[in-house]
Structure 1
Amino acid sequence: MNARGALGRYGENLAARRLAESGIVILTRNWRCRDGEIDLVGRDVDALVMCEVKTRRAGPYEHPMAAVTPAKARRLRRLAERWLERYGGPPPGGVRIDLVGVVVPRRGAPAVEHVKGVA
């Protein structure tokens, strides 16, 4: 695994931990289909949560939350539809698309931000 892949995996691990701490049960990680990948899929009470994780090193780069453009949001909704086609219709609580942004500084603890319902 290269450095970028390791950084992404680290961010996903932090995101999964943050979601679990907030009560979301992680059902699967890195679910793939022909249209792309969902980083984390979880259950929050009676809602299905599709979670995109963006990890960046601290520095001059854009904040990870800025990476979810309107095109990316459309792709995430399409991926959620594919999941529902494969595993059944939406649960009683519906489907929510969340984003976890992780910023890793040179020193100190990473900043992890969870935003619900981004797309």
Structure 2
Amino acid sequence: MNARGALGRYGEELAARTLAGAGMTIVERNWRCRAGEIDIVARDGDALVVCEVKTRRDGRFEHPMAAVTPVKAERLRHLAERWLDVHGGAPPGGVRIDLIGILLPTRGAPQVEHARGVA
């Protein structure tokens, strides 16, 4: 695994722990289809959460939360629809798309931001 892949995996692990710590249940990680990949699928009560995870090192690139453009948001909605088609449809609480941005400073603990309902 290259450094970028390792950084992404580390960020996804932090994100999964953050979601679990908020009382969500992780349903699936790194679900793939021809259209792309969903980083994390979770349950938040009776709602399904499709979660995109963006991890960046401090000062190297744009803030991770800025990485989800309108085009990326549309792609996430499409991926959520594909996941629902494969897994039997939407739950009673509907579907929400969240973003977790993780910034890894040179020193100190990672900064984790969780934005709910971004798309």
- Report the TM-score range of the alignment, normalised by the length of the smaller protein: over 0.9
1:116 — aligned with what? Answer: 116
1:93 — aligned with what? Answer: 93
1:45 — aligned with what? Answer: 45
Give unpaired runs (5+ residues) of structure 1. Answer: none
Cα distance in structure 1, aligned partners of 2:113 and 2:69: 17
CA RMSD of aligned residues (A): 0.6
Cα distance in structure 2, aligned partners of 1:113 and 1:96: 16
Asked whether 1:2 is paired with 2:15, we answer no
2:69 — aligned with what? Answer: 69
Equivalent residue letter for 2:108: G
Cα 1:5–1:60 shift into 2, 3 Å = closer
Give unpaired runs (5+ residues) of structure 2. Answer: none
1:18 — aligned with what? Answer: 18
Moved over 6 A (4+): none
CA drift of 1:19 comes to 0.3
CA drift of 1:88 comes to 1.0
Cα distance in structure 2, aligned partners of 1:79 and 1:107: 35
Equivalent residue letter for 1:31: W
Aligned residue for 1:56, secondary structure, equals strand
TM-score with structure 2 setting the length: 0.98
Sequence identity percentage: 74
Cα distance in structure 1, aligned partners of 2:116 and 2:83: 19
Cα distance in structure 1, aligned partners of 2:60 and 2:18: 25
1:30 — aligned with what? Answer: 30
CA drift of 1:61 comes to 1.6
CA deviations 1:27-81 (Å, max 9, x no partner) are: 0100001100000000000000000000000014210000000000000000000
Greater CA drift, 15-24 or 58-67: 58-67
TM-score with structure 1 setting the length: 0.98
Aligned residue for 2:89, secondary structure, equals coil
